[in-house]
Amino acid sequence: MPGDPREGNGGGELSERLRRLDEKLDAREAEDKRKHSAPSTDAADRSGFTRGLKLSGDFIGGVVAGFAVGWAFDKLTGWSPWGLIVFILLGFVAGILNVLRTLGAVPQFGGRK
């Protein structure tokens, strides 16, 4: 291009500024590529948070189910505290077992050997 200041014909300061701008743009483009190619720590944090919510939900679900069954059992039979106590303990054990199954520490029920 005949009037391009990058060619150095009379526009020394401008051509220097354009050269520095090109270098900065190239560096920023390389940095953006590097950021997008590396796995994000935010995604890993979200994945851990999601897994924690699932594990806590498995445990709390077992205890709440044990409470509900125990309360219903007590209402039907009239054995007021005993059904609730027994079924809350069973729900606690079931919740821990669900957490261990999710973590892979205990095999699934009825799974192949």
Same domain for 90 and 51: yes
Flag whether 108 is in a domain: no
Angle between the 41-77 and 80-103 helix axes, to the nearest 10 degrees?
150
Same domain for 57 and 30: no
Q: Evaluate if residue 110 carries a pLDDT over 90.
A: no
Per-residue pLDDT tens for 43-90? 667 788 899 999 999 999 999 999 999 999 999 998 888 999 999 999
Q: Indicate whether this model's pTM tops 0.75.
A: no
Q: Evaluate if residue 113 carries a pLDDT over 60.
A: no
Domain that residue 86 falls in: 46-103
Judge contact between 102 and 55, C-beta under 8 A.
yes
Domains: count for the chain: 2
What's the chain's length in residues?
A: 113
Same domain for 50 and 33: no
Flag whether 97 is in a domain: yes
What is the reported pLDDT for 102?
Answer: 87
Same domain for 54 and 21: no
* Higher local confidence (pLDDT), 12 or 5: 12
Flag whether 110 is in a domain: no
Per-residue pLDDT tens for 37-48? 655 566 667 788
Flag whether 11 is in a domain: yes
Percentage of residues of the chain with pLDDT beyond 70 = 77
Judge contact between 91 and 61, C-beta under 8 A.
no
Same domain for 58 and 28: no
Cβ neighbors of 35 (< 8 A, separation 6 or more) are none
Q: Which residues of 15-26 are buried (b: 16+ CB within 10 A; e: fewer)?
A: beeeeeeeeeee
